[in-house]
Structure 1
């Protein structure tokens, strides 16, 4: 897979990941084009309808096909509530065709190549002295730490976001639902 395809796939994965982990087994049977009971990142996101902002952003960025590819990807997926915390008008501006490049950068900043479970992440945090650096598909860094029993991610702008639901399994990776949107440098 070339770097641009990987970037696109990861961004879509992030978007799809946040959308509906509850309907995973049912979706695979409804669509009938996967032998496994677990849908991919995009199918997971589209299936529930509870993360409409992320799904709309993934579609606007043209990342659906990429995030349906084999992966694996780890996506930190913001909820609609997380997107609502952004300044008024931000999402509407980002999904405009003229802002596709910036939107893609933001979405791919939520994705990491490979499958990184919460147990893997906690082990990496401990091994790294309390702060693990993750390189995203966008080529920028996120820093993961523990706050009590929660994984907290700090973005390039210094914003902190908690993982609210970890280890949502998909056929092409894993989704960690977050309560905030990461902002790249």
Structure 2
């Protein structure tokens, strides 16, 4: 892994653990196990560090966004949400912090939105392939379910008992049925 990716990963971990207020160049150096000053060499300002972390999240999303060749759409979607609330928990917590920060930071908004547009475009492609007559409109509904399910399981009242993978697959089936799509 290259140094920028390492710094991006460490920044994501710091944000998830300490929030935006905890994000400093020194904190990222410590989390990445780098000598003091290393992070500031690659990202001179706090804004540059935030943008590096957002770009890293987008890179990681691109790797995970490919649906598996076998299995139904509901199974895939349930697995995506389950992965986000288990092994992807740290990145999702950081993503929520970024979402809030982007509402106050126009310079971060563009970087954050580029990742969101990528996910929405891929979602529309998957829905079109599944036979959706209105993939863009259906994407808004499906992203709402995905985001809501993840947020509830990580930060909402559902965090006391996060859903199982099977519950998430059933939820995805219900959403797809509501859109008039087969999810089996």
TM-score computed with the length of structure 2 as normaliser: 0.28
Q: Which has the higher helix share?
A: 2
Q: Which has the higher strand share?
A: 1
> For the pair shown, which has the larger CA radius of gyration, 1 or 2?
2
TM-score computed with the length of structure 1 as normaliser: 0.28
